[in-house]
Amino acid sequence: MKTHNLPWKMLASLAATTLTFVGAVTTVNAASIALNGQVEQRPLTPGEIATYGLTNAQFSAGISTVALGEPVYLDALVNNSIAPSNIVGVVWSLPSTNKPLGSLAMLTNSPLGSSVPLYNPADRSIPNNTQAGALVSQLAGRTFFRPDVVGQYTVLARITTTGVNNGTNIAPATTNIAVTITAATYYGLQTCEACHSGGVLNAPSIYPTYTNTPHASFFTRAIDGLVSSYYNQSCIQCHVLGYDTNSFAVNGGFDDIAKVYGWTFPSVLTNGNWAAMPAALQNLANIQCENCHGPGFLHPVQNGIVGNTNFISVSYNAGDCTQCHDSLPEEYQAAEWYNSLHAVTTRLPSGSASRMACVRCHTAPGFINYVANLGNTNAYATNVVYEAINCQTCHDPHDASNPAQLRTSTTVAFNGNTGFVVTNAGLGGFCMNCHNSRNGSVTNSIVNYALAQPTWNGGSAFGPHDSPQGDMLEGINAVTYGQVIPSAPHANVVSNTCVGCHYQPIAPTDPAFTLAGGHSTEMSYINSQGVNVDVTYVCTQCHGTLTNFDMLVPDYVGVGYSLGVQTQVQLLLNKLSALLPNSTYQANANNYVAAGVVQSSITTQTNWPTPFLEAAYNWQFVDNDGSLGIHNAPYAVGLLKASIANLTGVSTVGGLPDAWEEAYFGPGFATNAAAGPNAVNNSAGVPNWLMYALGVSPFGAFTVPGSGVIYFDGNDIVNGATNTVAIYTAAEIAFNTQMGTTYQIQGISALTGGWQNISTNIPGTGGSISYLTPTRNNAQMFFRVVHTP
C-alpha cells in the first residue's frame, strides 16, 4: 500500500551533496582508435516500451532532474569503430558519499537490457548516415536506479577497452566519467508562476505566454468533454504533473494530492468537472513547467542562490517531448522524426567557438540561441553543445504567438548578404531560416572569392551552402548572365511551401506511415522490398496522377523527345560538369580547360577564370538543392543551360549561337520567341536555323540561289500558296500522320551529339506529308521524325 507522508515538506532542509567529477584518464597508443567514452541519461518513450515489449519499464524524459521514485536510465557509450570484443565493460558505482543522507538507492541492472538501441539517432550506427563528421557510438553498458531522498546523486562510470592492435601491441584505454542527477518533489504551477511572470530578479518571463499554449489547458478541456468522448483516467499520466501510482513514487505529484482530497476521475466528461476540482489539484493539472523541466523543489533557493539553475533541468534532448509524443498511432510525431535527417544533423560544426555561424543551424541550442538574438549577429549560436535538430529546436513550448508554436515568424530575411526577405512562404518561411544559401550573395561568392576576400559574415567560401532550397524555390541568388530566367509557380501556389509538401500527412494504414511526410520531412521511403518509393500524394492535387517525381516534361536538353524532369536536370548537370576544369590547381589560370568527363563534385580554385567560377556556382546551386528540378524546374534548367551557353556560346535548343541571336534580336533573345531556331522572320517563310546556316540576316530577302524549304500534304503545298522557290538539291522526308499529333523533323550530320530541329511544328492531317529540305555541298545528313504526343 502506498503511504502518503508529504516528503516534499519534510525534506526541505536537506542540503545537496557536492558535485563530484572525475576527469577522463585515458591511456592509449597514438595509433589506437579513440575511446570517445560518454554517459547519457537515456529517455524511454511509450513507443519504445511497446516496440521492445518492456513490461517492467516506465517512460522517462531523460532529464537530469527527476522526481522521487521515478526511473533513471543511464547508458555508457564508446566509439562505434571499436570492435565489441575489445570492450571490457563498464564498472558503475554510487558511493554513499555521492548521494543524499539517508538514501538507500542502489544501482541495478537496467530493465532495457542490451537489445534496446541507443536513444538518439545521431548516436546510433545508421547505414544511410553519410553526414560528414557524424559521431556514431555503440553501447558499452547500462545501469538503473530510482532516487528515494531529495538531493543530488553522482553516479560514476569506469569504461574500459582493450584498445586496438596498432601493429606492435594492444593499447588498453580507460575513461572515468561522472553524471549528476537531482532528485526532488513537485511544487506545481503556482510556485513557477510566482517568479516567471516577470519582474523577479532575472527569471525569464515565461508564464504569461505559456498560458496560451494548448499544453496549458489540455487536461482542463479534456475532463470537461471538449477533447474527445473516450478520454479516461488511463490517458492522464501525460496531461498532469507526476502521475505515478506506484508506492515508491511519493513525490507530491497529481495522484498524491488527489488521494489527499479524495478526488476521483469523473464518470461523465462534461462542463464543470474542472471547476469542481480542488485548487491544490488544479495546481498540478495540465502539462506544465515541471513536466518538462523536472520537479522544482530545490530550484527556488539552494546553496544561498535564488533560482539556482543547477537544481532544475533545461533539456535540448528530444526525449523531453517524446516521453509523451511517441505512442502510435495517435502520437506519431517522434516516430516520424526518428526517420528524418534533422535527427542526425552532422556534429562537425559543434564543439568549436569558431563555428558559431555553423552551429546555429546544425545544433538545437545553436538555433534556439540564433532566433533569440535575431539582428544581433555577435550573439548568434554561442552555445556549441551538440544536440540534433528536434522538437524544441523549432517549436517554442512556452509561446503560441507564432503558427504551430514556431520559435520565430514565417517572414525571414535570407542570410549571406542577399538582402532578400521572404514573405510569401507561409510556414515554409520558417524552414528557410536555415534552408537558404548562407555563404554570401552570388556576387560576393564570385568576385570576393577570386580576390581571397570574405564572401560572407562567417568568412570566405565559394558557392552556395549545402541547403539553398529557399533560394531555388524563390528563384534568386544565382548567376543569370543578364537573362530573365523564369521560375515555377511553386513558391506562390503551394500552401506553406516547404511544409505543404514535405509535411504531407500520411495515413496510419499507409506503408509510408512515419517513414515519409510529417516530421520525417522525407518525400520518399525504402519499402519492405528495399525499393525506393516516391510519395507523390501532395503532387497529384495539381499534376494529376504521378507514380514518381521524375515526371515527363518538354525536351529541355535537345534529345528530341520528352524525358523526366529529374533525368533532364541530371543530364544538364553532367554536361556542365564536363565543361568545368578538374580540381587540380594550375598556377597559370590560362591552363584551365574543360575536364571533358562527368564530375560528381566540383572543387574550384581562386584563379579560375570568371566564366568557370560562374558556371561552377550554378552547378553547385542546382546540385546542392537536391531536388533535381522539382522545387523549381524552369529556374534550375535555365541556370544550367545559361551556364553551358556561356561556356560554349550556344544555349538555344537547335544549335544557334548566342552571339548570332543577340546580334539580331538583342540581349533578351532567350525569352524572345522570334529568336527561336524555327521562328520565321522573312516573307520567304525560311526559318532562323536555315538563315543562320546560309550566313544571312533572318530578316532579309531570300535571294540565295538553289536554296529553300517547302513541304507538301499530298499534292498541296502546306507552307506557301505557290511553289516560288527553286529547289536544286533536296532531301525528302515523307511520313504518315494522324489528327491531333504534332510532328517535327530533326537532322544531324553524324550519329553522335545532339539532334537539331530543322522544321517548324507540323500538325498531323491524317494523311501523308512530304518534307523537302535543301542539302548543300554534298554534306552528309541524317533525318528523323518525332511527334507529340
d(CA 62, CA 73) in angstroms, rounded, equals: 7
Amino acid 672 reads N
SS3 assignment, position 289: helix
Residue pair 523/516 in contact (Cβ under 8 Å)? The answer is yes
3-state secondary structure 598-632: CCCCCCCCCCCCHHHHHHHHHHHHHHHHCCCCCCC
Tell me the chain's radius of gyration from C-alpha atoms: 34
Q: What is the pLDDT of residue 157?
A: 97
The conformation of residue 250, written as its DSSP 8-state character, comes to -
d(CA 558, CA 748) in angstroms, rounded, equals: 12
Q: What is the pLDDT of residue 465?
A: 86
Give strand ranges (E) for 233-354.
301-302, 305-306
d(CA 395, CA 389) in angstroms, rounded, equals: 11
- DSSP bridge partners of 674: none
Grid cell at residue 460: 570566405
| Helix, strand, coil share of the chain (percent; to 5) | 25, 15, 55
Distance from the Cα of residue 257 to its chain's centroid: 44
The contacts of residue 127 (CB under 8 Å, 6+ apart) are none
Contacts 24+ apart (CB under 8 A), 526-534: none
Grid cell at residue 595: 575536364
pTM: 0.78
Residue pair 600/617 in contact (Cβ under 8 Å)? The answer is no
| Lowest-pLDDT range of 275-279, 535-539, 778-782 | 778-782
SS3 assignment, position 180: strand
Q: How confident is the model at residue 149 (pLDDT cuts 50, 70, 90)?
A: very high
d(CA 521, CA 228) in angstroms, rounded, equals: 29
**Per this entry, what is the length of the chain?**
789
**With pLDDT > 90 as the criterion, what percentage of the chain qualifies?**
56
Residue pair 785/762 in contact (Cβ under 8 Å)? The answer is no
d(CA 743, CA 327) in angstroms, rounded, equals: 58
d(CA 761, CA 400) in angstroms, rounded, equals: 57
Grid cell at residue 714: 499530298
Amino acid 177 reads I
Q: DSSP string spanning 551-593?
A: -EE--SSSSSS-EEHHHHHHHHHHHHHHTS--S---SSGGG--
What is the tens place of the pLDDT at every residue in 189-246?
Answer: 999 999 999 888 788 999 999 999 999 999 999 999 999 999 999 999 999 999 999 9
Which residue in this structure is represented by grid cell 529529374? 566
- Helix 633-648 crosses helix 565-578 at what angle (to 10 degrees)? 30
Taking residues 611-634, what's their average pLDDT?
Answer: 96
Closest CA relative to residue 349, chosen from 339, 359, 340: 359
d(CA 114, CA 139) in angstroms, rounded, equals: 8
Residue pair 335/325 in contact (Cβ under 8 Å)? The answer is no
Residue pair 670/643 in contact (Cβ under 8 Å)? The answer is no
Q: What is the pLDDT of residue 173?
A: 83
> Dihedral angle at the C-alpha atoms of 432, 434, 436, 442, nearest 10 degrees?
140
| Lowest-pLDDT range of 316-320, 371-375, 778-782 | 778-782
d(CA 122, CA 171) in angstroms, rounded, equals: 28
What is the tens place of the pLDDT at every residue in 475-534?
Answer: 999 999 888 899 999 999 999 999 999 999 999 999 999 999 999 999 999 999 999 999
What's the Cα-to-Cα distance from 603 to each of 71, 599, 619, rounded to whole Å? 51, 10, 11
d(CA 187, CA 252) in angstroms, rounded, equals: 7
Residue pair 521/333 in contact (Cβ under 8 Å)? The answer is no
What's the Cα-to-Cα distance from 57 to each of 111, 180, 251, rounded to whole Å? 6, 22, 19
d(CA 34, CA 699) in angstroms, rounded, equals: 74
What is the tens place of the pLDDT at every residue in 672-696?
Answer: 888 887 788 987 777 887 777 667 7
Task: Give yes or no for residue 51 having a pLDDT over 90.
Answer: yes
